Structure 1
C-alpha cells in the first residue's frame, strides 16, 4: 500500500488525492478497505491518492457517497480531468508527469518524450492529414509540453529502447530525421537518458505486439501503458505489469549496448544528413 507524503500543491489532481487520503483516514479506512467498498484494489485507491490515476466521474460520485463528502469529489474531479492530450492518452500523460522512472520500447516511432517539434508535427499530420492547423497546433503544443519533463536534470529517469525501424522510417523527410536523431544523441551524450537500439538482426522478440511503456513512482505501484491508434490502456494489475516488465527486459537484453546504440543512431543521422544534401 502507498503511504502519505508531502504533495505538490500546484497540481489539482494531487491536491484532490491528498483530500481523498484525509477523507479516508477520517473514515478510519485503509486503502484496501476503501477499495473493497468501491470494488477496486487498494493499489488503485493509492494511485488516486498519489494523483497518478484519474478519479473518473462515476468513481467521484461513489467516493462522495462512501466517504460522506457531499459533492466535493464530483465537483472538483471534473475540472481536474480536463486535459490537452487526446482522451486515450490523457491519463497516461498525467501519470508520466509524476513518474520517477520511465522504461519504454518504441516499436515504429520515436517515443513522445524524445520527439523534436518537427518530427512530432510530421507524425500528427500523417495521422490526421485533413485536420485543421489549429488542431495540429494544439496537439503539438501538448506534445512539446510533455518533452519538458526532461528539462529536469535527474527525474524522471528515462530508459528507452528504440526499434531500428523507428530510426530507419523517414518521418517528415531526411532533414527532420537527421535533426531528430541528433537530438536523441545529444540527450544521451548529456547523460540525461539511456537509449538502446533493438536491431533488425535481433529477429523476433518479446514485444512484437507493439510499443510498451512502464512507469514507476515513489508512492504508488507501477503502471504499464499499451497504446494503439485511437485507444490506450493504463494497466495496474500486478500480474500484467510484471509480464510487461519481463517483455521489456527481454527486449532490452536483445538490444545493442548503449555505446553501440549511440554509434548507430549517429551513423543513421549522418546518412540522413548526407541524403538531405545529396537527394
Structure 2
C-alpha cells in the first residue's frame, strides 16, 4: 500500500489509485474532489493545514482534490469532522463506493445485480462468489504479475462486494458446477482449504443455491474448453462467456447463448447431484 508523510511520520495513504482508462470513475472523482476543495476553502484552510488536521500531507490532499486518488471512507469521515460538514462530506462515500473497484469488475457486478439466474461452471478455481475472504486472497497472491498491496486490497474488496448478490431479496437462482480439482488444491494451506470447503457446505444449504461437483473421472463432458458463465435476466435476455470459445468475450446474441446453454446443460447433467456433491465435499473435508 502506498504511503504519505506528515512531518516526517509515515502514515497510511488517504486514497487508492485511479485506473488510467476509467473515464466514468475519473468523472465521479473530479466532482468529489471539487466538493472537497470547496469545503476546505470555505473553511479558510490551506491544503497544508487541511492535511495536518486530517493526518495527511499537502500533496495527498491536492491529489484527492484533483480527482487523482480515490478517497478512503475513513478519510472522508475525518474530513467531515474537520470541516464541520454535518455529514455532507462523509456522504461522498456513497459516490465513491463503486469507483474504488476496478471498472471491469464494476461492469460485471452491475450485470450480476440484474440477473435472476446464474449458471457458473468453474474448472480450476472455486468460483469467486463462493470464495471465503482468505481463500480469495490466497488465490490472488498466486497471480502473476503480482499485485501491488494496494491493488490486491482493491480486488479483494471488489470480490467481497460482489458476494452481496447471494443475499438479494428476492434471491436469484444459482447453479454452480465445480470441477473436483478445484476442491482439492490446498491454496493458502490445508486450514484455508478446510474453511473454504466448510463455507461451500454452508452456502449449499441456501434454498436458492445448488452446488454440484464434476468428478475428475468424468471424461465425456463438454467443459474441457474452460469456464462457462451464463447470466439470465428478468426480461428474457441473457449474457454469457466461455474461456475457449468466442474469443473469451461476453456474448448476448441468441445463437451463441444457445450454444453456451446447451453445453452448460450437458455438464450439469453429468455432474454429481447437489445431494451427492454435498456428500462428496464432506468426504473431502474429512480427508483434508
Scaled by the length of structure 1, the TM-score of the pair is 0.63
Cross-structure match for 1:72: none
Cross-structure match for 2:185: 169
- Give the CA deviation at 1:87: 4.9
Cross-structure match for 1:271: 287
Cross-structure match for 2:273: 257
Distance 1:266 1:178 in 2: 10
Cross-structure match for 2:232: 216
Distance 2:149 2:249 in 1: 28
Distance 1:217 1:146 in 2: 17
Distance 2:284 2:172 in 1: 27
Distance 1:270 1:92 in 2: 35
Distance 2:258 2:270 in 1: 19
> Which of the pair has the greater relative contact order for Cα pairs under 8 Å at 6+ separation?
1
Pair 1:128–1:84, CA change in 2 (3 A): farther
Give yes or no for contact 2:198–2:285 (8 Å, CA) kept in 1.
Answer: yes
Cross-structure match for 1:132: 148
Q: How does 1:238-249 map to 2 (within 5 A)?
A: 238-249=254-265
Task: Give the length in aligned residue pairs.
Answer: 192
Q: Say which SS state the counterpart of residue 124 (structure 2) adopts.
A: coil
Q: Does 1:96 align with 2:89?
A: no
- Give the CA deviation at 1:128: 4.0
Larger radius of gyration: 2
Distance 1:218 1:171 in 2: 36
Cross-structure match for 1:158: 174
Give yes or no for contact 1:85–1:93 (8 Å, CA) kept in 2.
Answer: no
Distance 2:221 2:102 in 1: 29
Distance 1:153 1:268 in 2: 32
Distance 1:221 1:190 in 2: 26
Q: Identify which of 168, 191, 198 aligns with 2:207.
A: 191
Q: Following superposition, which runs of at least 4 residues in structure 1 exceed 4 angstroms of deviation?
A: 82-90
Scaled by the length of structure 2, the TM-score of the pair is 0.61
Give me the CA root mean square deviation. 2.5
Q: Say which SS state the counterpart of residue 200 (structure 1) adopts.
A: coil
Cross-structure match for 2:222: 206
Distance 2:106 2:275 in 1: 34
Give yes or no for contact 2:102–2:154 (8 Å, CA) kept in 1.
Answer: no
